[in-house]
């Protein structure tokens, strides 16, 4: 089974691997049901979805009817104004046929104008905090992409007591000294304040090439070599304060779950030289660069 850790100060012990339910967005209900059965069989007890993930919330609904109490259920809103964020939360509850979620996350909060709007008196934070007071949601979190996001998360945590942050974390991204320094500062603050840290894109290989005709189940090309994936998973889980969110490419889900289940409670960090060899052999490239590649 996959070990669990306290998910920040939420009082929930979440499995170190969190199911990224973006994988369900374009699935049939039958395939979604089979995927969720795989997740449950692995003991994963934390699901991360979003209003913008296609039909993900709809695909979750039948499964949640029987399993709601067994999982920490998180969704996201990309809305920035208070009324729109509240409406999107209510729509998510309706789609998933639940009376509350455990966490609502402000999705990809990185741009200055959106940041200012979210924290305004009539912005999303105030509205979602009100929804929390009403029992529609238990916790608020923030997510984001790109190399500016760790620094922006620090700013956000200074403005509001979020329960969780989510950001990219991988061997190739941690080679960027500026990003690595921001991530280290963010993790330090999160440890002090009991804020959970979720990671994404650990098994990203590179952005898709225009001439690549492979089937695409994620907006980036993932690594497919099992040993490389195993080292990437260990790169994250060797850090006791980090959670690993699975890819939207569900073809890799069983591999990741099997690896995480085999590692045990204490995970040995991979040899840095092996990570360097993976980057060279697999042609792994940063999918964010702080400039032209900053946005998805």
pTM of the model: 0.96
Q: Could you tell me if residue 7 is left (phi over 0), alpha (psi between -120 and 50 degrees) or otherwise beta?
A: beta
**Domain ranges in the chain?**
4-282
16 vs 290, residue with greater confidence: 16
The CATH number of 4-282 is 3.20.20.100
**d(Cα 59, Cα 50) in Å, to the nearest integer?**
12
Position 19 pLDDT exceeds 80: yes
What is the pLDDT at residue 296?
65
In whole angstroms, what is the distance from residue 285 CA to residue 197 CA?
23
Q: What is the pLDDT of residue 295?
A: 67
Phi, psi of 60 (to 5 degrees): -75, -30
pLDDT at 82 over 80: yes
pLDDT at 289 over 90: no
CA distance 180 to 286: 13
Mean pLDDT of 121-134: 98
Kindly report which listed range (85-89, 129-133, 168-172, 210-214) carries the lowest average pLDDT score: 210-214
Alpha helices (H) in the chain, listed in sequence order = 29-41, 56-67, 82-96, 112-118, 124-133, 149-159, 177-193, 226-237, 253-262, 272-282
Q: What number of residues does the chain have?
A: 296
| pLDDT (tens digit per residue) in 100-121 | 999 999 999 999 999 999 999 9
Mean pLDDT (the chain) is: 96
Other beta carbons within 10 Å of 139: 24
């Amino acid at each position: 089974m996959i070990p669990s850790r306290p998910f920040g100060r939420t009082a929930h012990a979440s499995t170190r691997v969190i199911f990224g339910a973006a994988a369900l967005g374009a699935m049939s209900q039958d395939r979604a049901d089979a995927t969720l059965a795989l997740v449950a069989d692995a003991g994963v007890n934390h699901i991360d979805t979003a209003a913008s993930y296609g039909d993900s919330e709809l695909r979750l609904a039948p499964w949640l009817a029987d399993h709601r109490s067994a999982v920490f259920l998180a969704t996201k809103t990309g809305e920035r104004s208070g009324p729109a964020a509240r409406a999107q939360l209510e729509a998510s509850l309706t789609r998933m046929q639940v009376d509350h979620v455990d966490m609502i996350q402000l999705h990809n909060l990185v741009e200055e104008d959106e940041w200012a709007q979210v924290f305004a008196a009539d912005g999303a934070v105030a509205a979602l905090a009100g929804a929390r007071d009403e029992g529609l949601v238990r916790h608020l979190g923030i997510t984001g992409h790109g190399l500016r996001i760790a620094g922006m998360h620090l700013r956000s945590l200074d403005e509001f007591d979020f329960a969780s942050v989510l950001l990219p974390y991988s061997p190739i991204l941690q080679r960027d000294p500026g990003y690595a320094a921001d991530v280290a500062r963010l993790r330090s603050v999160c440890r002090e304040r009991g804020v959970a840290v979720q990671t994404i894109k650990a098994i990203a290989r590179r952005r898709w090439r225009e001439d690549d005709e492979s089937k695409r189940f994620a907006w980036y090309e993932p690594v497919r070599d099992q040993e490389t994936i195993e080292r990437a998973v260990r790169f994250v889980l060797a850090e006791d304060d980090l959670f690993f969110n699975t890819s939207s490419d569900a073809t890799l889900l069983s591999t990741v779950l099997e690896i995480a289940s085999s590692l045990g409670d204490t995970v040995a960090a991979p040899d840095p030289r092996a990570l360097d060899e993976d980057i060279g052999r697999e042609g792994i490239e940063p999918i964010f660069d702080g400039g032209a590649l900053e946005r998805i």
